[in-house]
Amino acid sequence: MTAYATPAVQQHHRHGAFKIGAVRAGFALASRLVPTRAVNQAVRLFVTPFASSRTRAQRAQPDAAMQRGELTIHGRRIATYVWGDPSRQPYVLLVHGWSSFGLRYLPWVDSLRKMGYALVSFDQPGHGNSEGRFCTLPDFIDTVREVGRHFGDAALTVAHSLGGAAAALAQGEAWHAQKLILIAPAADPVDATRRFSRFVRLGQHLFGRLHESLQSMTGVNIHDLQVHRHLHSLGQPALIVHDVDDRDVPWSEGERYARHWSGARLLSTQGLGHHRVLDAPEVIEASLAFLRGDLVGERVVSSPNLPFGDS
């Protein structure tokens, strides 16, 4: 869901899809006069990936070594992209974020291949070249887990934004990664829905109904998707990379991962924002150093006196 990472309408506005003032006025009026319609429209906007995900995926130009494939997951065709042989080589699962696409990781390919890894990437439902129109965080989680199960446990998972939350929440007995690198990971869908609602001017009195509608759609209570409730069970080494100038997913959400995950370290950057941090050369190099076993980032110790200090 886009508000699990970035306010959807803000992203649409950046691409000139519509005038934000009109959208806000419409939601403010509908929240008072036709609240059910307002909630339904908000949910629809919330779970609809941007069309740019598909157009950007079509423009991507991978090298000839990449193998295109597909899997059927919950009745939807999921596009996959593979380098090397994951059945014979340790492989890296690459997980994109909201309204992004699997081939967004092309800048990582050469370096990881030179280290001897096979690579697997894919497009989430409604994204890139995969089927679907709508997508939710539980969809993200299920797709990560099912793609992972198809290829086997991963040596490493690299995930960005909403994909970071999905990768963390997908870990379990059915599938897991030995190490994880999460870049600008979203942590709190509850807070994100509040940011989304405030941005579009959905009435505050409708927050609860928005959550109920999302639960009706997914079968999952949104509070159960707050990652701090689950991180204590993860023991793998992890590197969390988050930019302090991230205006889409607050730096504090990445810091939360590091506080609650005993094996995680936090690397903070500045000036890269939410999107450039994914393929910044210094971030890729730090990630490779982490894979080589170097000490990267800082250990963050949790305290009950800080927000989310207790799970």
**pLDDT per residue as tens digits for the range 33-84:** 999 999 999 999 999 999 999 999 999 999 999 999 999 999 999 999 999 9
CATH number at residue 252: 3.40.50.1820
Indicate whether 210 belongs to any domain. Answer: no
Closest CA to 187 of 259, 294, 237, 92: 259
Indicate whether 299 belongs to any domain. Answer: no
Structural domain harbouring 100: 55-188+225-291
SS3 assignment for 260-307: HCCCEEEEEECCCCCCHHHCCHHHHHHHHHHHCCCCCCECCCCCCCCC
Global pTM value: 0.91
pLDDT by 10-residue block (mean), the chain, 311 residues: 42 54 91 95 95 96 96 97 98 98 98 98 98 97 98 98 98 97 97 93 95 97 96 96 96 96 97 98 98 94 60 45
- Give the chain's domain count: 1
